[in-house]
Amino acid sequence: MKKILKYTGNFYVISILFFLFWMVFIDSNSLIIHFRLTQKLWDLEDQKEYYQQKKVQIKAEREELMSNAELLEKFARERYLMKKPTEDLYVVVEK
- Whether residue 75 is predicted with pLDDT greater than 80 in this model: the reply is yes
**Is the separation of the CB atoms in 71 and 65 below 8 Å?**
yes
Is residue 90 included in any domain, yes or no?
A: no
Instruction: Please give the Cα distance from 10 to 17 (Å, whole number).
Output: 11
Is residue 65 included in any domain, yes or no?
A: yes
- What pLDDT is attached to residue 56? 97
- Whether residue 3 is predicted with pLDDT greater than 80 in this model: the reply is no
Instruction: Please give the Cα distance from 69 to 6 (Å, whole number).
Output: 87
Nearest residue to 81 (alpha-carbon basis) of 69, 70, 91 = 91
Q: How many domains does the chain have?
A: 1
State the residue range of the domain holding 76.
2-80
Is residue 61 included in any domain, yes or no?
A: yes
- What pLDDT is attached to residue 6? 67
- Whether residue 7 is predicted with pLDDT greater than 70 in this model: the reply is no
Is residue 44 included in any domain, yes or no?
A: yes
Instruction: Please give the Cα distance from 80 to 15 (Å, whole number).
Output: 69
Is residue 87 included in any domain, yes or no?
A: no
